[in-house]
Amino acid sequence: MEIITSRQNPLCTHLRKLAASASYRRQRGEFLCDSPKLLKEALLWGAEVRTVVATAGVDLPELPLGVRQVEVPAEVMKSLSPMETPQGTLFTCAIHAEPLPETLAGRRYVVLDTLQDPGNVGTILRTADAFHADGMFLVNGCADLYNPKTLRATMGAVFR
């Protein structure tokens, strides 16, 4: 496992940019998550996990070959995490953009229009998943699906 102790390390800069900027996330084709539960969900549902950053003593699940594993001190984790209270695990996943289908399969869709609070978007996505919705549309300036606060609020539903 790689160990990073400097907040100025290029990976640290990259993670902070992923947390802060939707355009940077799209440009780089990846997003940042903060939570050991989300990591387990991502792995369970086959997300392409690229990098895992954890503080010492955090129990990580078995990671696929090729996933970069980094250990950081708690103070570095606090500087990296977009959350007030980091849970000791950050990770990045690839964004897989799929083209819009010409017709929609299924019958139940949720449309969110101008909902700007990331936590609310994530909670609604999680609820829609619980009711087996077939999909969700975010239109007219909704919060970014890949915002770390949106992702955390989905509690893993974003991977299903």
How far is Cα 135 from Cα 130, in angstroms, rounded to an integer?
Answer: 12
Structural domains in the chain (count): 2
Helix (H) or strand (E) holding 126: helix 118-130
* pLDDT number for residue 99: 85
pTM of the complete model: 0.90
Closest Cα to residue 129, out of 98, 158, 96, 100? 158
Residue 52's pLDDT is what?
97
Q: Are residues 87 and 117 in the same domain?
A: no
Closest CA to 28 of 107, 124, 93, 115: 93
Domain end position, chosen among 64, 94, 124: 94
What CATH number has the domain bearing residue 19? 3.30.1330.30
Do 88 and 146 lie in one domain? The reply is no
Does a structural domain hold residue 121?
Answer: yes
Q: Is the pLDDT of residue 32 over 90?
A: yes
Q: What pLDDT is attached to residue 112? A: 96
* Residues 64 and 123 occupy one common structural domain: no
Residues 74 and 23 in one domain: yes
| 90 and 116 together in one domain | no
* Average pLDDT of the residues in 119-125: 96
Q: What is the domain range of residue 89?
A: 2-94
Between 99 and 16, the more confident residue is 16
Tell me which of 69, 94, 119 is where a domain ends: 94
Examine the fold and report which residue of 47, 68, 94 is the final residue of a domain before the chain moves on: 94
- In a domain, residue 10? The reply is yes
Pair (78, 118) in one structural domain: no
Assigned domain for 38 exists: yes
Evaluate whether residue 104 is within a structural domain: no
**CB hemisphere CA count around 144 (13 angstroms):** 17
Q: Could you read off the pLDDT of 65-117 as tens digits, one per residue?
A: 999 999 999 999 999 998 888 889 999 999 988 888 889 989 999 999 999 99
In this structure, is residue 100 part of a structural domain? no
Mean pLDDT score, 112-123: 96
Res. 14: pLDDT tops 90 = yes
pLDDT at 85: 83
Examine the domain organization and report whether 120 and 87 are in the same domain.
Answer: no
Q: Is residue 101 part of a domain?
A: no
Residue 143 pLDDT exceeds 90 = yes
Residues 13 and 90 in one domain: yes
